[in-house]
């Protein structure tokens, strides 16, 4: 049994709990929290809640610690610190800061003789590895990543900060025609506006100036100004009823040519349709916890990414069975 610890019990941590239950070779041992451990309401009978201050005392009882904090402030500090004490997996997703995060985690994981796998999830994560596979297989080609239709937390938050807004939900939506042009192997060049649109569902205060709110959203630099944005004002009731989920998804598509005269075209597409973005991310993290456990047993220490992990290491199925049934 692989003994799992969870650090942070928000949406992602709760997803890990549910995911561990689906994996019979794993057992949840501890949920670490900054809150009062007695206040945590969780399901797993094998697990105990424990304050994060006591985490070091549990290090011999956990094979892999899955970090469920945020990339902005939690993981940059937690991952290097924890990698000295534990094998870890995190979902660090600030693309621009990944190289620095990798270096930080690598040196502490090597110091502590642990295996750390960072930036696990679907993007970064499964989408990244699909960009790698498709690029290696079709070197004379071009790849495209589309996100959505799905909820962007960052964009929803940005709308909520506007004066007069009570609540909001923002969906990122790929432009259907753009996707079709890519699938058809046309290898187009896109502006930001041509790839995605943004759909906003906004609850405004009574008497608020709706035209001003709409204009503030549509002209917000970085978040909305470069996109075709639609704004729908809805009641709080409607928002809760119709927009309470956190679905997401998207696709990585690469088209390329082969042959001495580049005479043949090929398209590789990987797509996801997810009811719950955090729960799916949790399931990817849990699978890579298995890889971290195995690599640590082999003495393969330091920081890894999804690019470095032999696919077989994330599966509970033996090599013989994989070859017999999946190959």
Which residues 238-267 are close enough to bind a second copy by CB under 8 A?
258-260, 263-267
Q: Which of 73, 139, 211, 244: binder of a second copy (CB under 8 A)?
A: 139
Q: How far is CA 165 from CA 214, 270, 326, in A?
A: 10, 37, 51
Complex with a second copy: residue 239 or 306, whichever CB lies closer = 306
How many Cβ atoms sit within 10 Å of the Cβ of residue 48? 15
* Contact between 276 and a second copy per CB under 8 A: yes
Task: Work out whether the CA dihedral 131, 133, 136, 141 comes out positive or negative.
Answer: negative
3 state DSSP class of 173: strand
Q: Which of 34, 35, 51, 95: binder of a second copy (CB under 8 A)?
A: 95
How many Cβ atoms sit within 10 Å of the Cβ of residue 124? 20
Task: Work out whether the CA dihedral 189, 191, 196, 197 comes out positive or negative.
Answer: negative
Q: Which of 5, 19, 86, 159: binder of a second copy (CB under 8 A)?
A: 19
- Run of H or E including 14: helix 11-22
Q: Which of 31, 89, 272, 292: binder of a second copy (CB under 8 A)?
A: 272
Min dist CB 98 to a second copy, Å, is: 5
Tokens 């005392």 sit at which residue? Answer: 57
Q: Which of 284, 294, 296, 302: binder of a second copy (CB under 8 A)?
A: 284
Q: Which stretch binds a second copy (CB under 8 A): 57-65, 193-201, 232-240, 272-280?
A: 272-280
Distance CA 89, CA 76 (A): 13
Q: In degrees, to the nearest 5, what angle opens at C-alpha 275 toward C-alphas 39 and 69?
A: 40
Complex with a second copy: residue 181 or 258, whichever CB lies closer = 258
Q: Which of residues 21-80 bind a second copy (CB under 8 A)?
A: 21-23, 43
Complex with a second copy: residue 219 or 262, whichever CB lies closer = 262
Is 182 in contact with 134 (CB distance < 8 Å)? no
Q: Which of 45, 53, 57, 136: binder of a second copy (CB under 8 A)?
A: 136
Min dist CB 230 to a second copy, Å, is: 26
Give 237's strand partners: none
Distance CA 271, CA 265 (A): 20
Min dist CB 286 to a second copy, Å, is: 8
* Contact between 216 and a second copy per CB under 8 A: no
Complex with a second copy: residue 229 or 296, whichever CB lies closer = 296
């Amino acid at each position: 049994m692989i003994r799992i610890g969870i650090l942070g019990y928000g949406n992602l941590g709760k997803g890990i709990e549910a995911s561990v239950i689906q994996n019979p070779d794993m057992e949840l041992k501890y949920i670490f929290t900054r809150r009062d451990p007695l206040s945590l309401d969780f399901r797993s009978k094998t697990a105990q809640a424990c304050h994060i201050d006591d985490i070091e005392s549990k290090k011999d009882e956990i094979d892999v610690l899955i970090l469920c904090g945020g990339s902005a402030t939690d993981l940059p500090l937690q991952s290097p610190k924890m990698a000295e004490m534990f094998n870890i997996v995190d979902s660090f997703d600030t693309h621009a800061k990944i190289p620095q995060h990798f270096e930080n985690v690598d040196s502490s994981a090597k110091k502590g003789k642990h295996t750390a796998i960072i930036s696990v999830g679907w993007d970064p994560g499964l989408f990244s590895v699909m960009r790698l596979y498709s690029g290696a297989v079709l070197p004379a080609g071009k790849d495209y990543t589309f996100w959505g239709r799905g909820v962007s937390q960052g964009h929803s938050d940005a709308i909520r900060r506007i004066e007069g807004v009570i609540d909001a939900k923002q969906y990122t939506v790929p432009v259907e025609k753009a996707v079709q042009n890519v699938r058809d192997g046309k290898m187009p060049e896109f502006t930001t506006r041509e790839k995605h649109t943004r759909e906003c569902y906004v609850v405004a205060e009574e008497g608020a100036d709706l035209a001003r709110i709409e204009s503030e959203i549509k002209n917000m630099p970085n978040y909305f100004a470069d996109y075709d944005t639609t704004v729908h004002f809805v009641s709080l009731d409607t928002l809760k009823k119709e927009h309470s989920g956190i679905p997401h998804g998207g696709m990585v598509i690469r088209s390329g040519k082969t042959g001495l005269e580049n005479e043949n075209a090929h398209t590789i597409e990987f797509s996801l349709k997810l009811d719950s973005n955090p729960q799916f991310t949790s399931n990817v993290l849990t699978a890579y916890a298995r890889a971290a456990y195995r690599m640590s047993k082999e003495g393969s220490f330091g920081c890894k990414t999804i690019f470095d992990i032999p696919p077989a290491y994330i599966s509970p199925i033996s090599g013989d069975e994989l070859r017999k049934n999946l190959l």
